[in-house]
Amino acid sequence: MEENIMDNDYFTLTDEDGNEIEFEMIAECERDGERYFAMIPVEDDANNDSDVCEYIILKLAEEDGEEILVTIDDDDELDDVADYFDDLFTQEIDYD
């Protein structure tokens, strides 16, 4: 299992309605041969005064020979990866 917490990797993604949204990748991991990315919307992060960080998880997939990021449709797969990222982020918190 490979993991990486990122520093300032930004991506502009297009949602299903054609809207472009800028995201910051905050972590990535590889599990069971698949790559997953935890991302936060840049606009929400800039406007958020709270200590809570809500993130989305996207999965790397291939479509027509091109790598794309997709949502995870399988609830069990999503829960497993979300638990992993939650544990990873909890380890990164400095309680001093």
Residue 42 within any structural domain of the chain: yes
Give CA–CA dist 47/60, Å, rounded: 28
Residue 94 within any structural domain of the chain: no
Give CA–CA dist 27/36, Å, rounded: 8
pLDDT at 6 over 50: no
- Supply the pLDDT for residue 47: 56
- Supply the pLDDT for residue 49: 57
Q: How many domains does the chain have?
A: 1
Residue 79 within any structural domain of the chain: no
Dihedral pair phi/psi, residue 50, rounded to 5°: -85, 165
For the chain, the C-alpha Rg in angstroms (whole number) is 14
Residue 40 within any structural domain of the chain: yes
pLDDT in tens, 26-66: 999 999 899 999 999 888 555 555 556 689 999 999 999 99
Residue 19 within any structural domain of the chain: yes
Can you give the residue range of the structural domain that contains 37? 1-61
Residue 28 within any structural domain of the chain: yes
Q: Over range 19-24, report the average pLDDT.
A: 90
Number of C-beta neighbours around residue 77 at 10 A? 16
* Averaged pLDDT score across all residues of the chain: 82
- Supply the pLDDT for residue 2: 41
